[in-house]
Amino acid sequence: MTVDLTKLGVYCRCPGGQVETIPQQLATGVTWAALNLGSDPCVDRDPSVWAHQRSLYASGGIPVAPWLHCRSFADVQYVVAIAKSWESEFVGVNLEDVNTDGISLAQVAAYLKGSDWGKPVHMATLPWVQNSAGWGAMAFATAALEMFPEEDPRYLADWQGCVNHAFAEGLKTVTLLYSTQSPRSVYPNVAHMLYTADNVTDWPSWKDSLPQPLPKPPNGGNMSLSPALKKQIRFEMTRFCLVAEKAELRWHYTEARPYTGLGVAPAYTHHNDCSSYCALVFFWAGHMAGHGIADPLAGHYGGSGNTETALDFLEAHPAPRAALRVGDMCIFGIRGQLGTQHMQICRRPGAATQNTGTGSAIFSSFGSESGPQPEPAIYAARPLIGIYRHPALL
């Protein structure tokens, strides 16, 4: 069975009021249902309360799965365990304020893509996806932006801006999750799923009478940062690297985690390594430009991440070696054998010449106590895995 999580579905919060609505839901073209496992009094993390509801959905041929607002990695493991016990074809993982919750999206992504799950993931999240949280790691999931106009109409008024921002933060498949007070007849062509469903009284108003196109990234797949903003971010990156290289005696090499120094000016004392150096550059540039940019290490700037997580995040976006730009990153090593060994960030645009260590591009590198220092993009000392461009700077 294949479940298209971008099509109309229901996100049910409580079993009360749901049981007798299945025939009407079938008439509206509902194609999947997700059932809450949270701490609501009607559920209280007891999957058994959904037994009758699950049987009705199954009799109607509607795939059903559990969903949970996950506030920890243990919550993710819990909802997946229930999805496996239900033999579900997908799982609903609600991830919102991951910075406050201290959730590593890279860790969650590795788990959900691994042998413990490996099936489709529906990820409900805040309408304006949290800045710089490393959402690119979750690019395989169907991200559903929670549009609740009765709570805050601002997001509804700029739903397209919310979609564009989600793409800019690194997500790849984006749809919208509307509360049941917002029928399709009022907001056509944008609502792909319902929320709570137990207060729906007029199901026909949700019937698909108009095409429902899946939102696409703007500009043919590029992220939504404006050219002016990209230029400002790249300017701040260059300035950070130049100052750090000039102050290299204040930079000390360590691979300790969690790394430190986010938001600290490059002229001050730092203790970092090659990958955390790149993270510091991105964090500083986004802060100075007034627009956060996702952590290139996919660790949502939580002090984690390394060259391996950076490669997982970046490898889908190779940079053209004949036209490198500020912010492009080289990653060295042997993929799958010796692992990644080093990374560096471009501070002057230009070209790189294969295996010669020549070319007009200059990279800023902090791979030893003697750095940060300028280096060519490609040189014989280390095998090159690839040169990549952050998805927000495409």
Question: pLDDT (tens digit, 9 = 90+) per residue, 240-250?
Answer: 999 999 999 99
Distance CA(353)–CA(21), nearest Å, equals: 64
> What CATH number should be reported for the domain whose range is 9-220?
3.20.20
Which of 52-61, 143-152, 312-321 bottoms out in mean pLDDT, i.e. has the lowest? 143-152
Q: What is the sign, positive or negative, of the torsion defined by CA atoms of 352, 356, 359, 362? A: positive
| Residue 155 near residue 174 (C-beta atoms within 8 A) | no
Question: Who contacts 326 (Cβ-Cβ below 8 Å, separation ≥6)?
Answer: 234, 235, 237, 238, 346, 347, 348, 349
| The predicted structure's pLDDT at residue 194 | 78
* Chain region(s) in the chain for CATH 3.20.20: 9-220
Q: State whether residue 269 is helix, strand or coil.
A: coil
Looking only at the bridges linking them, the beta strands covering 384-388 and 193-196 are unpaired
Least Cα distance to 365 among 250, 284, 244 occurs for: 244
User: Does the pLDDT value for residue 188 go beyond 60?
Assistant: no
* Chain region(s) in the chain for CATH 3.90.1720: 227-393
| The predicted structure's pLDDT at residue 156 | 74
Output b/e per residue, 374-384; b: 16+ Cβ within 10 A: ebbbbbeeeeb
Q: State whether residue 67 is helix, strand or coil.
A: strand
Determine if the pTM surpasses 0.75. Answer: no
Question: Who contacts 299 (Cβ-Cβ below 8 Å, separation ≥6)?
Answer: 104, 106, 134, 279, 305, 309
User: Does the pLDDT value for residue 212 go beyond 70?
Assistant: no
| The predicted structure's pLDDT at residue 389 | 94
The first and second tokens of residue 239, run together, are 């300035």
Distance CA(146)–CA(228), nearest Å, equals: 29
The larger pLDDT score, comparing residue 85 to residue 352, is at: 85
Q: Give 83's pLDDT tier (boundaries 50, 70, 90).
A: very high
pLDDT by residue (tens digit) across 250-301?
999 999 998 999 889 999 999 999 999 999 999 999 888 888 788 899 877 8
Report the half-sphere exposure of 327 (CA within 13 A, side-chain side).
25
| Residue 243 near residue 266 (C-beta atoms within 8 A) | yes
Distance CA(384)–CA(319), nearest Å, equals: 13
Strands (E), 221-365: 251-253, 270-272, 329-334, 339-348, 362-365
| Residue 275 near residue 306 (C-beta atoms within 8 A) | yes
| The predicted structure's pLDDT at residue 308 | 87
| The predicted structure's pLDDT at residue 278 | 97
Q: Which of left, alpha, beta for 248 (phi over 0: left; psi -120 to 50: alpha)?
A: alpha
| Residue 95 near residue 109 (C-beta atoms within 8 A) | no
| The predicted structure's pLDDT at residue 220 | 44
| The predicted structure's pLDDT at residue 142 | 95
User: Does the pLDDT value for residue 208 go beyond 70?
Assistant: no
| Residue 284 near residue 240 (C-beta atoms within 8 A) | yes
| Residue 282 near residue 266 (C-beta atoms within 8 A) | no
Per DSSP, the residues of 357-377 read: S-SS-EEEE--STT-SEEE-S
Distance CA(192)–CA(232), nearest Å, equals: 36
Average pLDDT rounded to a whole number, residues 346-373: 84
Question: Who contacts 273 (Cβ-Cβ below 8 Å, separation ≥6)?
Answer: 253, 254, 255, 259, 366, 367
Query: What single-letter DSSP state applies at residue 318?
Result: B
| The predicted structure's pLDDT at residue 270 | 97
| Residue 92 near residue 117 (C-beta atoms within 8 A) | no
- State which fold the 227-393 domain adopts: endopeptidase fold (from Nostoc punctiforme) (3.90.1720)
Distance CA(249)–CA(241), nearest Å, equals: 14
Least Cα distance to 54 among 43, 44, 66 occurs for: 66
Q: What are the residues facing 11 on neighbouring strands?
A: 34, 195
The larger pLDDT score, comparing residue 339 to residue 331, is at: 331
Q: Give 226's pLDDT tier (boundaries 50, 70, 90).
A: confident
Strands (E), the chain: 9-12, 32-36, 64-69, 91-94, 121-125, 142-147, 173-178, 193-196, 251-253, 270-272, 329-334, 339-348, 362-365, 373-375, 384-388
